[in-house]
Chain A
Amino acid sequence: MRALLLLGVLALAAGCASAVGLDVGYPADGVNRALLASATPRRVAIGPITDRRREARLGIEPESKKDVVTRRPVSEIVRDALALEVAANGHTAAADRADVALAADVEEFRLDVLRGYGSAQFVGKVVLAVAVTDGRTGQRLLARRYVGINRRRAEADSESAPRETMDTALARAMHDLATDPDLVRAFSGISTATAR
Chain B
Amino acid sequence: MRAVAVLLILLALAGCATTPPPRSAAPSFEHVRQLAVVVSGDSTFTVLEHRAEPGRTFDEILQWGMFGSYRSVLRPIAELVHRGINWLLEVDNTSDARVDLGDLTPRAAVAGAFVRALEASGRFDEIRAYGREPLGEDRRRADAIVRITVPAWGLVRVQDGDPELLSAFADARVEMVAPGSGVTIWATGEDATGAERLPLRAFTRDREFTRQQLLGVLERAGQRMASELLYARGAGR
Contacts and interface: CB of A to CB of B under 8 A. Distances in A.
Interface in A4-36: 4-5, 7-9, 11-12, 14-16, 18, 27, 29-30, 32-36
A123 B26 contact: no
Interface string A101-128: 0000000000010111100110101010
| Band of interface residues on B | 35 or more
A115 B120 CA distance: 40
B159 A34 contact: no
Given A37-B235, A127-B195, A32 B26 contact: yes
Interface in B115-163: 120-123, 156-160
A147 to B, nearest CB: 5
B224 A38 contact: no
B228 interface: yes
Contacts of A160: 18
Interface residues of A, number: 48
A8 B8 contact: yes
Interface string B12-28: 11011010100100100
Contacts, number: 123
Pairs of residues from A and B, 7 with the lowest C-beta to C-beta distance, nearest first:
A8-B8, A37-B235, A11-B12, A179-B230, A33-B235, A12-B12, A15-B12
A72 interface: no
A34 B50 CA distance: 36
Interface of B is mostly: mixed
Interface of A is mostly: mixed
Interface string A44-73: 000000000000000000100000000000
Interface in B151-178: 156-160, 169
Contacts of B193: 123, 149, 151
Interface string B90-130: 00000000000000000000000000000011110000000
A121 B121 contact: no
A179 B230 CA distance: 6
B15 A176 contact: no
B200 interface: no
Nearest to A12: B12
Nearest to B4: A5
A160 B21 CA distance: 12
Nearest to A164: B21
Interface of A: 1, 4-5, 7-9, 11-12, 14-16, 18, 27, 29-30, 32-38, 62, 89-90, 112, 114-117, 120-121, 123, 125, 127, 147, 149-153, 160, 172, 175-176, 178-179, 181
B86 interface: yes
Nearest to A119: B50
Nearest to B122: A181
B202 interface: no
Contacts of A89: 235
A179 B5 CA distance: 51
Given A33-B234, A112-B160, A179 B23 contact: no
Contacts of B18: 160
A54 to B, nearest CB: 15
A34 B26 CA distance: 12
A9 to B, nearest CB: 6
B234 A32 contact: yes
Contact of A32 (B6, B54, B159, B232): B232
27 contacts: A11-B9, A11-B13, A12-B8, A12-B12, A12-B15, A15-B13, A15-B16, A18-B16, A29-B20, A30-B23, A32-B26, A34-B230, A35-B230, A35-B235, A37-B234, A38-B237, A89-B235, A90-B235, A112-B159, A114-B157, A114-B159, A121-B48, A121-B157, A147-B195, A149-B193, A172-B224, A175-B228
A15 B15 contact: yes
Interface in B185-214: 191-193, 195
B2 interface: yes
Contacts of A7: 5, 9
Contacts of A121: 48, 50, 156-158
